[in-house]
């Protein structure tokens, strides 16, 4: 917390209730920013202190909490609201636009301290919420840059964004009538990659890249970073949900083999020869689809039936499948001749993309995959509530710091709400 000296006795600001400013107070008290404040104050040394470092920092937090899209809107609010000025720590006039520009330039040199604040808040949430980080989801969001696009002249001129790149996402599906559809989204800018807690819908790790960087490439880098800096998060996690962009055998192997995290990742149909099923090498009358559905074929009638799920055997790394005739009481003419009537065990090694510790054809997989939407809701709040949908930011480092600040405020608000016995509002910035 950027502590402000004790308020004057019987000031009107103390007599009047904080009201909506209570949200800012929660964030200010929960934010672990003391190291950043000391660093900035040391850099200022004996320089002019017209606008104290701590007051400037608190006003930046106020701009995010109260959803001011620009510094000028924040300055107008500070000029109008004396109680807000006092809470931030200003004793005199509102800082100039140039003062905020200089302050932001200083913050850009301390992105590592903002990252440390984010990590500290994640650790604090782990103490407050013992199951925080148990179920994870990963996703990315496009952040368009509204500056002028690149030209052959790579020299920065303040108008163009020379670090942004072009990105594209393709969405495919099938309509109810069976016809395929495709949607292609293109943008110029950046991409924010997030790992979030899928239950509490709060960020656990983030990374910002130019728009062209593939989701799966950055996912491996994020796992690398967690292995080095916060291995306890990977040890605590049980599942990780993701969409088809993260359908990668190496990632699936890495999550389960190295960290015992069950991958719940949607799968693409990569069978190019048009076949709908494939046979196992071990069983002649058992086939499977690319979605992990397993069927036994009656040796007499040739009829296919879906085999029932028998769970996962961790010690053997196998999925159990049971005879549907026995489980459902179905009459099967070929049961006496069937070689799989007693059930089968499918090794994950049969196909690591298709066969995962949570059976893709089970209700448990569907339930776990639904948690993936937590990442989409976090992305939506960043756009609508934290101001990333409409911005005037140019440059990768500026965007990284701005995203880091927004995510720190999101976590600090959650910590503040929990400590204030308002856990039901931990995800809300405006309530």
Say if residues 294 and 361 touch (Cβ distance below 8 Å): yes
Say if residues 118 and 411 touch (Cβ distance below 8 Å): yes
Residue 431: predicted pLDDT: 64
pTM over 0.85: yes
Mean pLDDT of 286-298: 93
Q: What is the pLDDT of residues 213-225, one digit of tens each?
A: 999 999 999 999 9
Residue 274 predicted with pLDDT over 90: no
H helix intervals, 258-372: 259, 324-328, 363-370
The b/e string for 77-102 (b: 16+ C-beta within 10 A; e otherwise) is bbeebebbbbbbbbeeebbeeeebee
Please name which of 316, 321, 263, 314 lies closest in space to residue 287, comparing C-alpha atoms.
321
Nearby residues of 212 by Cβ (< 8 Å), 6 or more positions away: 165, 166, 167
Backbone conformation region of residue 266, classed left if phi is above 0, alpha if psi is from -120 to 50, else beta: beta
pLDDT band at 180 (very low <50, low <70, confident <90, very high): confident
Q: What is the pLDDT of residues 31-81, one digit of tens each?
A: 999 999 999 999 888 767 788 999 999 999 999 999 898 899 999 999 999
Say if residues 33 and 415 touch (Cβ distance below 8 Å): no
- Calpha distance 358→264 (Å, rounded): 7
- Calpha distance 300→325 (Å, rounded): 14
Residue 126 predicted with pLDDT over 70: yes
Distance of CA 401 to the CA centre of its chain: 16
Residue 263 predicted with pLDDT over 60: yes
């Amino acid at each position: 917390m950027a502590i402000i000296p004790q308020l004057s006795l019987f000031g009107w600001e103390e007599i009047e209730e904080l009201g909506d400013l209570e949200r800012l107070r929660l964030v200010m008290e929960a934010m672990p920013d003391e190291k950043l404040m000391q660093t900035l104050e040391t850099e200022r040394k004996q320089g002019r202190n017209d606008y104290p470092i701590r007051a400037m920092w608190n006003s930046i937090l106020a701009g995010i909490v109260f959803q001011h899209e620009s510094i000028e809107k924040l300055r107008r609010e500070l000029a109008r609201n004396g109680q807000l000025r006092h809470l931030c720590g200003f004793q005199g006039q509102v800082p100039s636009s140039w003062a905020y520009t200089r302050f932001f330039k200083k913050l850009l040199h301390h992105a590592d301290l903002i990252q440390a604040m984010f990590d500290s808040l994640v650790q604090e949430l782990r103490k407050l919420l013992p199951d925080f980080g148990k179920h994870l989801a990963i996703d990315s969001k496009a952040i368009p840059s509204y500056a002028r696009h690149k030209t052959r002249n790579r020299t920065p001129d303040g108008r163009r964004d020379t670090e942004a790149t072009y990105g594209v996402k393709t969405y495919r599906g099938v309509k109810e009538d069976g016809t395929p559809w495709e949607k292609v989204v293109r943008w110029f800018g950046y991409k924010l990659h997030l790992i979030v807690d899928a239950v509490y819908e709060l960020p656990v790790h983030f990374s910002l890249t130019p728009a062209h960087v593939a989701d799966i490439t950055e996912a491996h880098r994020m796992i690398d970073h967690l292995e080095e800096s916060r291995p306890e998060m990977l040890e605590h996690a049980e599942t990780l949900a993701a969409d088809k962009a993260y359908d990668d055998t190496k990632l699936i192997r890495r999550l389960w083999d190295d960290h015992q995290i069950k991958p719940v990742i949607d799968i693409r149909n990569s069978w190019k020869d048009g076949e709908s099923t494939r046979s196992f090498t071990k069983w002649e009358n058992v086939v499977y689809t690319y979605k992990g559905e397993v069927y036994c074929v009656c040796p007499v009638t040739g009829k296919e039936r879906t085999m029932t799920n028998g769970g996962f055997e961790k010690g053997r790394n196998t999925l159990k499948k049971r005879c549907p005739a026995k489980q459902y009481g179905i009459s099967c003419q070929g049961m006496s001749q069937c070689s799989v009537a007693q059930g089968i065990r499918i090794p994950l090694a049969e196909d690591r993309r298709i066969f995962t510790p949570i059976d893709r054809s089970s209700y448990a997989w569907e339930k776990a995959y639904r948690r993936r939407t937590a990442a989409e809701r976090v992305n939506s709040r960043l756009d609508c509530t934290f101001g990333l949908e409409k911005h005037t930011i140019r440059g990768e480092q500026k965007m990284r710091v701005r995203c880091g600040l927004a995510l720190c405020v999101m976590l600090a608000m959650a910590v503040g709400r929990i400590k204030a016995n308002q856990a039901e509002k931990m995800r809300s910035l405006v309530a």
